[in-house]
Structure 1
C-alpha cells in the first residue's frame, strides 16, 4: 500500500510550525523551513509571499485545534462549571510536563512581535484569545451565571498568567494553582446566583 505524499504547502506549514514553536519566530530562517520541509526556496515562495505570511499561517493552523482541545477537556470533566474550568488548567499543567512544551505559541509570538502591532499574526493571536474568552462566556451563560463576559475575562487572565509564569519557572504547579483560583472564582459566582434575592 502506497502512502499519499503531503502537498508541498502542507509540508511547509508543518515544518514552519515545528520550527517556530520549538525555536521562536526570529530565530528561524526561511532557508531552515525550506530544508526541513524538503522543498526549494522557490517552492516555498510560490506558496507564501514572505516569512510574515508563514508566521500568520502557523498561528492560524493552531487556532481551531487548540480551541477544540479546550472544549474537549471542559466537556470531559465531571462536576459543575467551576470543576470543568479547573480541569482546563489541570490539563494545561499536564501538557507543560512534556519535555517539548514551550509555552503558548500565541503569547510567545505576540512577545516576539510586540514592536509590530500591525503584523497579521498579532491579529490572529488576539482573535484566538478572544474566541476562547467568548466560548467560556457562553459556557457560563448556559448556567445563568451573572455577567459571564466579565467572569470569562478573569479566567482568561489567570490562564495567560499561568502560561507566562510556567514559561519563566518551568513549573506546571503554577497552572494548577491558577486552576484552583479560577475554580474559586466560578464557584463564588455560582453561589451568588443561588442566593435568594432580597424582597
Structure 2
C-alpha cells in the first residue's frame, strides 16, 4: 500500500514538473513573438497546454510567471551577459563577444530580454522591472571583474561604457532586425579597450 502511494506521489511530482516546464516553454515562445503585456495567462495555458488550474498552481500571478521566465533565461546563458561567465574563453574575448547575437538564428532578432521586460513594465518599483535592473547591474559587475583582471585602471567606468555599447547594440539589432549589427559596437569596444590600456612605465 505504501509503495503504491509513493509511486503515485512520484508520478504526480513528475507531471507537475512537466507542467511547469511546458508553461515556461509556452510563455517563452509567446513573449518572444508578441511581447509580455500582449500575452494573457489563458493564452499561455492553451499554448502549454495545461488547465488554468495547473497554470495558477505553478504561478499565482503573471508577474510570477514573467520573473520565472527571466530567471530561466539568466541561468541558461543565452543572454548578452551569459558569455561573461565562460571560463573557457579569455577575458578580453568574453567582453568582445558581448556584441555577438546570443541566439544567432533567432527570427526575428531579439534584443536583451531584460531591457525588453523593463520597457514593458516601466514602473521602477514593479517586481519585473526590479529584476531586470538587477540583471543589468550584474552584467556591469561581471565586466568590472574582467577588466580588473586585465589590469585596466578605473574598471567601473570602463565597464559602464562597455555595457552601454552592448545594450545599445542589442536594442538596435532588435529594432533593425539585423543579427550582426553588434559588429559596429564591437569595433568601438576594441578601440575603447586599446585606448584604456594601462601605460607601461
- For Structure 1 versus Structure 2, the TM-score category normalised by the shorter chain is 0.7 to 0.9
The aligned residue for residue 113 of structure 1 is 121
The aligned residue for residue 97 of structure 2 is 87
d(CA) in 1 for partners of 2:137 and 2:85? 15
The aligned residue for residue 194 of structure 1 is 199
The aligned residue for residue 52 of structure 2 is 41
The aligned residue for residue 4 of structure 2 is none
Q: Is the 8 A contact 2:83 2:94 kept in 1?
A: no
d(CA) in 2 for partners of 1:58 and 1:189? 37
d(CA) in 1 for partners of 2:97 and 2:199? 23
Q: CA 1:75–1:184 in structure 2 vs 1: closer, same or farther (change >3 Å)?
A: farther
Q: Deviations over 1:123-174 (max 9, x none)?
A: 1111111111101110111122101111010000001110111122222343
Determine whether 1:65 maps to 2:72: no
Q: Structure 2: where are the runs of 5+ without partners?
A: 1-13
Higher RCO by CA contacts (8 Å cutoff, separation 6 or greater): 1
Determine whether 1:76 maps to 2:81: no
Q: Is the 8 A contact 2:37 2:120 kept in 1?
A: yes
| Deviates most, 40-49 or 12-21 | 12-21
User: RMSD of aligned C-alpha atoms?
Assistant: 2.2
Report SS of the residue matched to 1:145. coil
Determine whether 1:134 maps to 2:145: no
4+ runs deviating over 4 angstroms? none
Q: Is the 8 A contact 1:75 1:84 kept in 2?
A: no
Q: CA deviation at 1:118?
A: 1.7
Q: Determine which of 18, 22, 37 is the counterpart of 1:11.
A: 22
TM-score by length of 1: 0.82
TM-score by length of 2: 0.82
Report SS of the residue matched to 2:181. helix
Q: Is the 8 A contact 1:17 1:58 kept in 2?
A: yes
